[in-house]
A and B are shown apart, each in its own frame.
Chain A
Amino acid sequence: MEKGNLCIVLHAHLPYVHHPEYDDFLEEDWLYEAITETYIPLIDTFDRLIEEGVDFRITMSLTPPLCAMLNSTLLQQRYIRHLNKLIELAQKEVVRTRWQQELNQTAIMYESRFKQARYIFEEKYKRNLISAFRKFQDMGKLEIITCCATHGFLPLMLHKKAVKAQIKIATDDYTANFGRKPKGIWLSECAYNPGDDEELKKEGIRFFFTDTHGILYGSVQPKYAVFEPVYCPSGVAAFGRDAESSRQVWSALEGYPGDFRYREFYRDAGYDLDYEYLRHYLHNDGIRRNIGIKYYKITGNVILGHKQAYNPKEALDASAEHAGNFMFNRQQQAEHLYEIMGHKPIIVCPYDAELFGHWWFEGPDFLYFLIKKIFYDQDEIRLVTPSEYLDENPRHQVLTPSLSSWGDKGYNACWLNGKNDWIYRHLHKASERMEELARTYPENINGNMRRALNQAARELLLAQSSDWAFIMTTETTVAYAHKRTKNHLSRFNKLYHDIRNNCINEEWLGEIERRDNIFPALDYRVYL
């Protein structure tokens, strides 16, 4: 008997990285790696399930910057170039490892996976991965939701208009990509600021998500904790994250991805192979980096040099085992909650999509087995999408969730600390100036002035990406995060100055339009 609903949410996002001014650009690899390791495997998983007649429901946010990159002809071409090199290397690796049986099977696996990726990307979906996701949505299997326009962190935005622009531009962008308006949104970093739901409502958005404590620490005690959504006073629903299921997947210690049989992320052939042999497959700067061919398993708590060979079959078994365990735990959880609540709970499990495949190599297999087991092996839990659930369950408690995020410590500190706080005086000033520009030119104008005004809005939006502040905090690619923040803000400041003084440099404007070409249909009057 059905005891509960399970809502799996995959948040797919990458910051907008697009550098036509370079032939080869390091950070564009983020996209290529995610396509090969996460987006294509997910698409392949969904296609397989559909072919096998397995019904399922998954919710995915595809952020506007990610959609823009997937739609970019330039990045599509570069992805193919990247993938072809990877296939070439994988083929050489199959030969090279011929006398090392235990590595050879993995080399063969990479060759076939990369070729399959090329088939799916080039032939099956004609380089248009958005169309694949859209297809799954149109079939009713996938609910695609949007996200803030450039993944801006709303609780630290001072100006309501800046929040409105992040939501409105995202909604328009979604509509252009998916042929209908979004019903839900993933607020960047799962960060909710009381009152932002009013902006969601204006765009017709019905629901968003918060972290567990966003609901638990709401203005009123939530009667059913996070196991039922609540309505904000605006009538927009908030779904809270289930902590238990998160832990099973996220936790570095007890989480599934840490199983010794799974692939070790950090031991990459990019650091192991002979330099001369590898050189052709590295970036122009010739520095060794991860290349995405990894031959070892986590093995245990041993140094990288002592890792044992990866065994694809053994890892596949592990993912099936973990899928069974995850399902069993959700069944138990649903049954328990059903007893307490007297009706069916909804268990909401949001994850970064890139966890599946990129970090946790076997993650897409886990999803495949989980969905299949839920379909065939039991009748206690049912996969649902949030809008389907709300249609069936329209009555819920009203409260205002607490300010919260899913970042470290649960609030804003991850995006506001000694490493990144300097950005906000510039971001806030730029927002203020953008509103001022919109007020100064409220009528539709033409020519360079209009282009400059629209570009100013793009520069502001790109500077607002929460990714830059986050990278500064985690100290991963700090120089790049600084560059991006400074580039966009200084471009904004120059545009502001040039518009104010009516001295737009058309050639320069054309160049930054080419580089920062997100949201071609944007209208700066969204800041009115």
Chain B
Amino acid sequence: MDKTKGGASQKAARITPSPKQDYYIEWGEPLPESYGDTKIILMPRDPRWAYAYWEITNETKENIKKKFGNDIFQKSRFTLRVYDVTDIQFDGRNAHRHFDLGITETADNWYINMGVPERSYCVDLGLLTLSGDFIPITRSNVVHLPRESVSPVTDEAWMQIRSEFEKMMKLAGLDKTGISSAEAMKILIQRIEKIAPISSGGLSSTTSRGKMKKVKRFWLMADTELVLYGATERNTQLTIQGQHVPLKADGTFSLRFALPDGKQEIPIVAVSKDKSNTEKITIIINKKTK
């Protein structure tokens, strides 16, 4: 799940031939650059920002030229006209307010700072001429941006939903709150605001818990392992440091030990199947790190 490389020791991986980056990737057909629609789509990002993407077909551009002259694109600027259409049926003229954003001709998407949360917005993509006329090309959907604070509305409505087998649920006590709702609300909100808002930060299964601390210092690591190997008759009982070691089918064995500093005495004892023969080898190792 985690794709974060582990610290210093990752460098050791470089000794291995590094396969191509796309070892597991096959890309398939590229996606189309356009779909042949003249349209603009608006999406909510957060209480103040929305995102728009659009596409204008050549056919649309030709029609505009036919209508407004071949040099219309030189004589005007691509513009997003943003309307506040909160609680109205927008007819193109009745917006609460609007503002214009000049955009580059090659752009096909834009992040728009709407400024005011909890309002509904829609956007016209069009051309703003030198004389100040706006030629709309296409209009977006309406997007409602969310609140970023507690609602001023305190009118309470209550609803009771009973599941079928719970129809006799007693309700006693539910309304006896003791203090006024506004008061309770205030205390609860204060309690929550004391705790800085905490989101999981997208701690989703496919991401890493935190950033690795990058170790920039020059460094070196070295350690030792001991490979202990040998062979004996098949079906022999073999013990190393008193612990039973299974033999491979051909009577060989191979063990690997991390070798710390200090002295190791390694008695290797083989006892034949009928217990009539015993062989013993003891290996003694002294390791010192300076």
Interface of A toward B, CB cutoff 8 Å: 13-15, 22, 25-27, 29-30, 33-34, 92, 95-100, 103, 155-156, 158, 189, 194, 206, 211-213, 216-227, 231, 235, 237, 243-244, 246-247, 250-252, 257, 265-268, 270-272, 274-275, 277, 284-288, 290, 303-305, 336-337, 340-343, 352, 354-355, 358-359, 390-399, 402-404, 406-414, 416, 421, 424-426, 428-429, 467, 470-471, 473-474, 476-477, 479-480, 483, 486-487, 489-491, 493-494
Contacts and interface: CB of A to CB of B under 8 A. Distances in A.
A407 B202 contact: yes
A218 B158 contact: no
A244 B198 CA distance: 9
A30 B206 contact: yes
A381 B148 CA distance: 32
Contacts of A410: 46, 197, 199
B105 to A, nearest CB: 18
Contacts of A284: 23
Contact of B31 (A275, A303, A404, A426): A426
Specify which of B9, B26, B153, B160 lies most central, judged by the most chain A CB atoms within 10 Å of its CB.
Answer: B9
B31 A493 contact: yes
A392 B168 CA distance: 10
A491 B210 CA distance: 35
B158 A395 contact: yes
A292 B195 CA distance: 35
B97 interface: no
B179 A340 contact: yes
B24 interface: yes
B70 to A, nearest CB: 29
B191 to A, nearest CB: 8
Contacts of A305: 7-9, 215, 219, 221
A396 B205 contact: no
Interface residues of B, number: 113
10 contacts: A155-B44, A244-B192, A265-B209, A286-B17, A425-B35, A429-B35, A476-B3, A487-B28, A490-B31, A493-B31
Given A402-B146, A407-B199, A394 B162 contact: yes
A217 B149 CA distance: 5
Interface of B: 1-10, 12-13, 15-19, 21-32, 35, 41, 43-47, 49, 51, 53, 55, 109, 141, 144-163, 165-166, 169, 171, 173-174, 176-179, 181-182, 184-185, 187-189, 191-192, 195-210, 212-213, 215, 219, 221, 225, 241, 243, 255-260, 262, 264
Contacts of A429: 35
Given A26-B24, A421-B53, 10 more contacts: A97-B258, A218-B151, A223-B185, A287-B18, A288-B10, A290-B6, A304-B7, A304-B215, A406-B199, A406-B200
A221 B207 contact: no
Contacts of A352: 200, 203-205
A354 B207 CA distance: 11
Contacts of A155: 44
A343 B31 contact: no
Given A98-B257, A342-B179, A217 B150 contact: yes
B259 to A, nearest CB: 7
A240 to B, nearest CB: 10
A50 B53 CA distance: 54
| Main DSSP-derived SS at the B contact region | loop
B25 A479 contact: yes
Given A99-B259, A287-B19, A340-B187, A470 B202 contact: yes
Contacts of B156: 220, 223, 397
Contact of B201 (A156, A226, A408, A426): A408
B28 A490 contact: yes
A117 to B, nearest CB: 16
A129 to B, nearest CB: 16
A483 B27 contact: yes
A225 B188 contact: yes
Contacts of A97: 257-258
B265 to A, nearest CB: 11
A217 B8 contact: no
Specify which of B150, B155, B179, B187 lies most central, judged by the most chain A CB atoms within 10 Å of its CB.
Answer: B150
A454 B179 CA distance: 57
B31 A267 contact: no
Given A287-B13, A425-B53, A274 B205 contact: no
B141 A158 contact: yes
A524 B263 CA distance: 71
A411 B177 contact: no
Given A342-B177, A397-B158, A391 B163 contact: yes
A96 B225 contact: yes
